[in-house]
DNA sequence: AATAAATTGTTGCATAATGCAACTGATTCA
DNA sequence: TGAATCAGTTGCATTATGCAACAATTTATT
């Protein structure tokens, strides 16, 4: 169907520009916290989850476990994360935010919240729900596809 | 307005998962072509533009010009790009796809086209246009914001 | 016409990320 | 009890990245 082809092309183009813009946003955010992007992403995931193992962190970030191990090492060294032994299974490490890490996380959350509220405020109220639903539709479609 | 706050939070979460999924897709695509992600992105931009200068490539990829210079160097070395002197201004380099680069580009385009058609086919036809419009709305909102 | 300023692209340097394979220690399974 | 599996670490090699300084070229100024 010709229509799907054209729509698929439009989708790709929209996603391409979206990725670029969000990439800029992410890097700017990481810069604000004096961290690398990877460290930022790791801190956010631990912040959102409360506690994570190294393997869980790797899964969430789509990284090799060795990479997750190193980035969490760095964050522990910087005082942003705490590494604890799991009392139930000593193979496991439990990663959680330190007090300082919580501050950093809250700072990032606040800035990102403010940013996206601003973005949302720039959208016609009548279109906001439709926009979100569109993203939810895409999310579901990507889930059911075999690549992601 | 409480509504904007909740909607902003939903937007962030949707974008977070979208970035993760598309990141996996990008890396998988780069792997298919036996290239690094950065090289892939550079080739795609040159392919889409026809010709680009190094600075233009840097702008499109949101990279430092030194990085753009190196990644295009690599692609020239691999025979995917051709670097020519600009006859009008010898400061400029003109980057374009070689025959081999055109093949690589076409392969990537075909695979991505097929993938997104599959994604689109998984969306209810009645929702496709709304989904695309939602992404277009977001795109416009991000453009008018000061960060990107 | 000569000089200064700006632009393009390259290179040196330093930092960081990344994945694979191999390894250690711990737990589970047969 | 020994083998298999799991979690996490480490060595290794590769790649990406941006900043600053530089050379060559073009444009602007005097």
B10-63 per-position pLDDT tens digit: 999 999 989 989 988 988 888 888 899 999 999 999 999 999 999 999 999 999
CA A83 to C1' C27, in angstroms, rounded, equals 20
- pLDDT tens per residue across span A49-92: 999 999 999 999 999 999 999 999 999 999 999 999 999 999 99
Count of domains for chain A:
1
DSSP string, A6-23: HHHHHHHHHHHHHHHHHH
- Predicted confidence at residue B102, as pLDDT, reads 96
Confidence of residue A147 (pLDDT cuts 50, 70, 90): low
- A106 close contact with B: CB closer than 8 A: no
**E strand or H helix that includes residue B45:** helix B37-49
User: The tokens of A53 are what?
Assistant: 């193992």
For the CA of B61 and the C1' of D21, the distance in angstroms is: 24
Of A11, A21, A117, the CB nearest to B5: A117
Average pLDDT, chain B: 91
Q: Give me chain A's average pLDDT, please.
A: 92
Using alpha carbons only, give the angle B97, B105, A15 rounded to the nearest 5 degrees. Answer: 120
**A12 contacts B136? CB cut-off 8 A:** no
What pLDDT was estimated at residue A143? Answer: 86
pLDDT attached to residue B2: 64
**A5: pLDDT confidence band, cut at 50, 70 and 90?**
confident
Q: Is A145 helix (H, G, I), strand (E, B) or coil?
A: coil
Segment B68-75 shows an average pLDDT of: 96
Q: Which residue is nearest to nucleotide D11 (CA to C1')?
A: A66
A-B Cβ pairs (cutoff 8 Å, strict): 170
Q: Is position B145 within any domain?
A: no
When pLDDT is cut at 50, 70 and 90, the band that residue A2 belongs to is: low
Other Cβ atoms less than 10 A from the Cβ of A6: the count is 11
The residue among B115, B141, B143, B144 with the most chain A CBs within 10 A of its CB, best to mutate, is B141
Residue showing tokens 């190193």? A70
Strand partners, A93: A85
Which contiguous run of DSSP H or E holds residue A64?
none
**B56-78 mean pLDDT:** 96
pLDDT tens digits for A22-53? 988 998 888 888 899 999 999 999 999 999 99
Task: Indicate whether A11 pLDDT > 90.
Answer: yes
Q: Does A135 touch chain B (CB under 8 A)?
A: yes
Residue B9: inside a domain, yes or no?
no
Q: Which domain holds residue A56?
A: 2-144
Sign of CA dihedral A35, B139, A134, A114: positive
Which amino acid residue lies closest to nucleotide C24, measuring CA to C1'? Answer: A91
CA distance A123 to A117: 10
Q: Residues near A95 by Cβ (< 8 Å), separated by ≥ 6? A: A46, A51, A52, A53, A54, A57, A72, A81, A82, A83
pLDDT of residue A28: 87
- Mean pLDDT for the stretch of residues A138-147: 82
The pLDDT assigned to B5 comes to 84
Are A61 and A42 in contact, with CB atoms under 8 Å apart? yes
pLDDT value at residue B42: 96
CATH of the domain at B96: 1.10.10.10
- Cβ of B137 within 8 Å of Cβ of A131? The answer is yes
- Distance (Å) from CA A92 to C1' D3? 21
pLDDT at A129 over 60: yes
């Amino acid at each position: 169907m010709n229509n799907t082809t054209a729509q698929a092309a439009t989708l790709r183009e929209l996603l391409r520009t979206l990725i670029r813009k969000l990439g800029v946003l992410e890097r700017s955010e990481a810069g604000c916290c004096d961290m690398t992007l990877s460290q930022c992403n790791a801190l956010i995931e631990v912040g959102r989850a409360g506690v994570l193992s190294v393997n869980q962190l790797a899964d969430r970030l789509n990284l090799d476990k060795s990479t997750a191990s190193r980035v969490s090492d760095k964050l522990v060294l910087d005082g942003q994360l705490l590494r604890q032994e799991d009392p139930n299974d000593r193979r496991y490490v439990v990663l959680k935010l330190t007090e300082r890490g919580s501050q950093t996380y809250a700072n990032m959350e606040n800035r990102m919240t403010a940013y996206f509220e601003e973005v949302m405020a720039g959208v016609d109220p009548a279109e906001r729900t439709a926009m979100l639903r569109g993203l939810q539709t895409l999310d579901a479609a990507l889930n059911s596809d075999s690549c992601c």
